[in-house]
Amino acid sequence: MYGFYGSDNCNIKDERGLTPRDYYDILSIIWCEYTCAPRLRQGWSPSDKTLGQCSITAFLMQDIYGGKVMGIPLKDGGFHCFNDVDGCVFDLTSEQFRGEILDYENVSEQFREDHFAKTEKKERYEFLKKRLFEELEKI
């Protein structure tokens, strides 16, 4: 049983035949304190592995499935990122909100140029991407 938003309806497959649920399983192994957003690292733990992972994960899934990265506006002025691939909406990192109901309707498209203007975020994304493809080679 998966707890991320869209897990029941995300049956899209990539060229390897993998679904977002498969990627969640792989990412669960490699998400770590380093891939967590620096401002949230003090709260990161293996039991809260999706904390601070949203944008780098969403852009990585966009690399794999295409579609758009969308953002839910947050109270701090930032955005919580998730994926919309031709109407298949999934949010691999929604569990970090621990049951809080997010509004997936009041959203705006997010662009990597904006997010990756921060060097640290681009570096975390590259690290996560490298680790993901290392894991995929094992399959």
pLDDT tens digit at each of 139 positions of the chain: 799 999 998 889 999 999 999 999 999 999 999 999 999 999 999 999 999 999 999 999 999 999 999 999 988 888 999 999 999 999 999 999 987 889 999 899 999 999 999 999 999 999 999 999 999 999 8
Residue 111's identity, in one-letter code, is F
Using CA atoms, how far apart are residues 29 and 25, in angstroms rounded to an integer?
Answer: 7
CB atoms within 10 A of CB 77: 6
Using CA atoms, how far apart are residues 94 and 3, in angstroms rounded to an integer?
Answer: 8
How is residue 109 annotated by DSSP?
E
Q: How many folded domains does the chain comprise? A: 1
> Structure pTM?
0.95
| φ/ψ bin of 96: left (φ > 0), alpha (ψ from -120 to 50), beta (otherwise) | alpha
SS3 track for the chain: CCCCECCCCCCCCCCCCCCHHHHHHHHHHHCCCCCCCHHHHHHCCHHHCCCCCHHHHHHHHHHHHCCEEEEEECCCCCEEEEEEECCEEEECCHHHHCCCCCCCCCCEEECHHHHCCCHHHHHHHHHHHHHHHHHHHHC
pLDDT at residue 79 in the model: 93
Residue 14 covered by a domain: no
Q: Identify the sign of the CA torsion 86, 62, 20, 75.
A: negative
Residue 110 covered by a domain: yes
Which residue, chain included where needed, has tokens 């298949």? 88
pLDDT at residue 54 in the model: 97
Domain that holds residue 99: 20-138
pLDDT at residue 100 in the model: 82
Residue 38 covered by a domain: yes
